[in-house]
Chain A
Amino acid sequence: MKKISKINFGDLGKSFSIFFILIVTLRIITNFLFTKIIIVEWWILTIELILAAIVSYLYYRLKYHPTFSYDKESFILEIGKEKISSKWKDFKFISLYYSGLGKTSLRLYINDIYKDDYIEISVSDLRLNPKDFRSEVSKLISN
C-alpha cells in the first residue's frame, strides 16, 4: 500500500498556540494566587515553551495528523487516532471541494452528490496536487 503522511503545520501551530497560552495562563494564575506577584523569567518561559511543544505535538498526533494509504482495491484514511477504511468500488462520484483559505479536499460520494454521504480526504493537508490526485482516484474508482 502506498502511504502518504505529512505534518500539517497549520494544525500543529494551532495546537501549540492553544497549549502555550493555556500553560502560561495557568502558571500566572497559580503564581499570583500563592505569591501575589507575577514572575517573569526567561528560564520559566523556556520551560513553558518546551512543555507546550511536547504536549501540543502529542495532541496534534492524536487529533489532527493525516495519513492516507491506498492500493488498487482500497484505502485507509487516518486523522489522528480515527481510522476509516473502504474499497474504491463503494464510491460512485468524486469531486474537488474548496472550503476556502487554501484548503482543498477530495470528496468520495457513495451514491448521490446531493446527500451528505461522502468521505472527505484533505488534499491540501497531504500536500498533493488536487487535479492529479483526482485523476488518479477517478481511475481507481472506475476500475
Chain B
Amino acid sequence: MKRVIDLRDFIDKIENQLIKGRGKWIAEFNESFINYPLDNFVFPLVVRGQTRSKGFLLSRLFAYLAMPNYLVSCFVYPSEINSYIKKEKLEILLREISKMMKKNNVKWSWLIIPKEGEFNQRIIKWVEKNDLSNIGIALVDLNTKNILTNNSVIGRKIKTILKF
C-alpha cells in the first residue's frame, strides 16, 4: 500500500534534506526559516544558502578561489487541500520573490508548491510553459508523488533534491 505523505512531514523532509546537503551539488543550504513573511505571503519554510561550499583547509581554499559565492533560496508554499492555486496568485508570488531576489542579490531561487491532491490543468500548463531562468518552480502532488517543474535548468534540477 502506497504511503501518502503528509504535508507537514513533507515540509520537514525538505528542510532536513536541504540542510543535510541534498542540494550540495548546486548550493550549500545552511539556514532555514519557518513562517517567513514576504509582503502578503507567509512561507511555512524558506531555506537559504550560497553556492560556495565551506570545506576544510584545502577544499575551503579551492572553493574560495574557484567558486562564485551566489546567494540562493528555496521557498515552500503549500496549496490548500480543497482549493486550487490560481495562476494570478502564482504570478504575484513569483513577482514578490523576484523583487526580494533583486533587492538582496539572490542569484536564483526555487519555489516548491506541495499539495495533498491534484493541481488544476490551467496551472500545470502555465508552469510547464514558464521559462524563468532564475526561479525554478515545482508543483508536487503528495498523493501521487508527481513532481512537475517549469522549463528551466534550475526548475528541472528540483527533481533531484525531492526524494520521497
- Which A residues are within 8 Å of any B CB, using their own CB? 93-100, 107, 113-114, 134, 138
| A31→B15 CA distance, assembly (Å) | 57
| A95→B19 CA distance, assembly (Å) | 12
Measured between beta carbons, the chain A residues less than 8 angstroms from B19 are: 96, 98
Q: Are A93 and B31 in contact (CB under 8 A)?
A: no
| A97→B49 CA distance, assembly (Å) | 10
Which residue of chain A lies nearest to B30 when distances are taken between CB atoms in the complex? A98
Measured between beta carbons, the chain B residues less than 8 angstroms from A95 are: 31-33
Q: Are B31 and A96 in contact (CB under 8 A)?
A: yes
Measured between beta carbons, the chain B residues less than 8 angstroms from A100 are: 30, 54
- Which B residues are within 8 Å of any A CB, using their own CB? 19, 30-36, 54, 103-104
Q: Are A138 and B31 in contact (CB under 8 A)?
A: no
Which residue of chain B lies nearest to A134 when distances are taken between CB atoms in the complex? B34
Measured between beta carbons, the chain B residues less than 8 angstroms from A99 are: 30
CB distance from A19 to the nearest CB of B (A): 24
Q: A98-B19, A114-B104 are in contact. Are A93 and B54 (CB under 8 A)?
A: no
> Could you jot down 18 A-B contacts, CB within 8 Å?
A93-B33, A93-B36, A94-B33, A95-B31, A95-B32, A96-B19, A97-B31, A98-B19, A98-B30, A98-B31, A99-B30, A100-B54, A113-B33, A114-B103, A114-B104, A134-B34, A138-B34, A138-B35
| A138→B19 CA distance, assembly (Å) | 20
| A113→B43 CA distance, assembly (Å) | 14
Q: Are A96 and B54 in contact (CB under 8 A)?
A: no
Measured between beta carbons, the chain A residues less than 8 angstroms from B31 are: 95-98, 107
| A93→B36 CA distance, assembly (Å) | 7
| A97→B35 CA distance, assembly (Å) | 16
| A99→B54 CA distance, assembly (Å) | 9
Measured between beta carbons, the chain B residues less than 8 angstroms from A98 are: 19, 30-31
Which residue of chain A lies nearest to B104 when distances are taken between CB atoms in the complex? A114
| A93→B42 CA distance, assembly (Å) | 12
| A138→B32 CA distance, assembly (Å) | 13
CB distance from B126 to the nearest CB of A (A): 30
Measured between beta carbons, the chain B residues less than 8 angstroms from A107 are: 31
| A100→B32 CA distance, assembly (Å) | 14
CB distance from A141 to the nearest CB of B (A): 10
CB distance from B20 to the nearest CB of A (A): 9
Which residue of chain B lies nearest to A142 when distances are taken between CB atoms in the complex? B35
Measured between beta carbons, the chain B residues less than 8 angstroms from A94 are: 33
Measured between beta carbons, the chain B residues less than 8 angstroms from A97 are: 30-31
| A97→B32 CA distance, assembly (Å) | 7
| A107→B30 CA distance, assembly (Å) | 12
Which residue of chain B lies nearest to A93 when distances are taken between CB atoms in the complex? B33
Measured between beta carbons, the chain B residues less than 8 angstroms from A113 are: 33
Which residue of chain B lies nearest to A114 when distances are taken between CB atoms in the complex? B104
| A98→B35 CA distance, assembly (Å) | 18
| A99→B50 CA distance, assembly (Å) | 12
Q: Which 8 A-B pairs have the closest CB atoms?
A: A114-B104, A95-B33, A98-B30, A97-B31, A95-B31, A96-B32, A98-B19, A100-B54
